[in-house]
Amino acid sequence: MNFEHTEDRRMLMDSLNRFVSEQYGTDVRNAMAYGAEGHSPQLYAQFAELGTIGALFPEEVGGFGGAGFDISVVFECLGRGIVPEPLLGALLVGRALMLAGSDVQKEVLGNLIDGSKVAALAHDEPSAHHELNHVATTAKREGTHWVLNGVKGLVSFGEKADWLLVSARTSGATQSEAGISLFLVPGQSMGIRCRAFNRIDGGRAAELVLDQVQVPADALLGSVGDGYSVLERVRGYALLALCAEAVGAMDVAKDHTLEYLRTRKQFGAPIGSFQALQHRMVDVLLEVEQARSAVINAAAAIDEQDRVKREKALSAAKYSIGRIGTLVAEESIQLHGGIGMTWELPLSHYAKRLVMIDHEFGDEDHHLARFIALSQTH
């Protein structure tokens, strides 16, 4: 396997890393991430102009990339600046539209790629515990409309989304894979109540209550009751993106810690000269490289047609990232000492993001159990 990126990907990586380092200094990033909007609409538009969103999609829908390694390159660069922009929502909703959307629905893709519209996946529910098949929100057909009722728990940038991809049950029990349908819903539809809040790691999210939300019949993506397979593919892209983002954040946390060990002095010598700390730093370096290998494996498998092989690679990557991300965050703080926890030091914000990535789209325990279950079926 060739692990070197193509020239186009290297150019994309260089331009993105330069843009992120110039525009997302720690103070600026934190002011945006923990502010009222949770991100910068102006910088999000600039990301679109740079082709960042277009790199997430293939040429046939208006992008210029779309392969697993294109996605991993983009999100690794975002992770280096712990960028809080809503690119993940664009990726997930856009991929769902590609997989199951009608020609009319796919027209939304152009607005996502050019950054003029924000999209969000509204799937997680308060008692779902990472289970993709847990959907209690209902959709009932009434004449020429569908009526949606239910609660969606953690919808990233849900208050700002122009388009929501909502999962709802049209038949079956709450935990059944069959009977889940997907709907493309305007974010400001009548009947949607939004309780927005800041996330601990930056950015905004919302709890959405759907109360008799009426959408036209053509809001349905694909066939009635066949949404689970689309959701599974969409989650796969989320796992790849989050794992790549984590590797970018780990690299920066590692570099900051290494620099601190070289400059901080105790007993007249840099603390990096102490063998016990050297051993701990080596463990961090090895684990970060293992995480990078897991992302490479996931990126290579994202378009695999064999479902079990694909999903095993993705769950293995997410499990590894969850474990290693927590370790890197903890060790980096320990090697810094008390200053590693302070708001002013960039490391504390990287550590928070690494820990929270583990809890998005299934934590390490969930994906370890899922990997075992998939292994027993193949």
- In this structure, the answer to whether residues 68 and 175 fall within a common structural domain is no
Residue 190 pLDDT exceeds 60: yes
Neighbours of 198 (CB within 10 A): 14
| CATH number for 163 | 2.40.110.10
Residues 78 and 162 in one domain: no
Given 113, 142, 171, the domain boundary residue is: 113
Identify the pLDDT of residue 8: 80
Q: What is the pLDDT of residue 170?
A: 96
Residue 9 binned pLDDT confidence (cut-offs 50, 70, 90): confident
Mean pLDDT value across residues 203-210:
96
What is the model's pLDDT at position 343?
87
Residue 278 lies in domain: 229-376
pLDDT at 2: 59
Residues 67, 187 within the same domain? no
Domain limit, last residue, from 97, 113, 129: 113
Of the pLDDT bands very low, low, confident and very high (cuts 50, 70, 90), residue 275 is confident
Burial 170-179 (b: 16+ CB within 10 A, else e): beeebeebeb
What crossing angle do the helices spanning 307-336 and 364-376 adopt, rounded to 10°? 150
Kindly state whether residues 247 and 214 are assigned to the same domain. no
Which pLDDT tens digit goes with each residue over 313-341?
A: 999 999 999 999 999 999 999 988 888 88
Domain membership of residue 43 (yes or no) is yes
Q: What is the predicted pLDDT for the residue at 331?
A: 93
3-state helix, strand, coil in the chain (%, to 5): 55, 15, 30
Phi-psi label, residue 279: left if phi above 0, alpha if psi -120 to 50, beta otherwise: alpha
Q: Tokens 């200094």 identify what position?
A: 25
Indicate if 149 and 220 belong to the same structural domain: yes
- pLDDT tops 60 at residue 139: yes
Residue 268 predicted with pLDDT over 80: no
332 located within any domain: yes
Q: Which of 191, 194, 180, 195 is nearest to 215 (CA)?
A: 191
pLDDT in tens, 24-45: 998 999 999 999 999 999 999 9
For residue 4, is pLDDT > 80?
no
Co-location of 156 and 272 in the same domain? no
Q: Answer yes or no: are the C-beta atoms of 135 and 169 closer than 8 Å.
A: yes
Q: What is the token pair recorded at 24? A: 């997302």
Same domain, 290 and 355: yes
Nearest in space to 293 (alpha carbons), one of 317, 311, 315, 319: 317
Mean local confidence (pLDDT), 258-277: 79
Residue 53: inside a domain: yes
Same domain membership, residue 197 and residue 159: yes
**Do 91 and 191 fall into the same domain?**
no
- What is the domain-level CATH number for residue 81? 1.10.540.10
Q: Are residues 184 and 272 in the same domain?
A: no
Q: Is the pLDDT of residue 265 over 90?
A: no
163 with 235, same domain: the answer is no
Q: Kindly state whether residues 40 and 178 are assigned to the same domain.
A: no
- Of the residues 66, 92, 113, which one is the last residue of a structural domain? 113
Using the predicted structure, report yes or no on whether residue 218 has a pLDDT greater than 80: yes
How many domains does one find in the chain? 3
Tell me what the pLDDT averaged over the chain comes to.
Answer: 93
| 253 inside domain | yes
Query: What's the pTM value of the predicted model, to 2 decimals?
Result: 0.95
Please indicate, yes or no, if residue 2 is contained in any of the structural domains: no
Confidence of residue 3 (pLDDT cuts 50, 70, 90): low
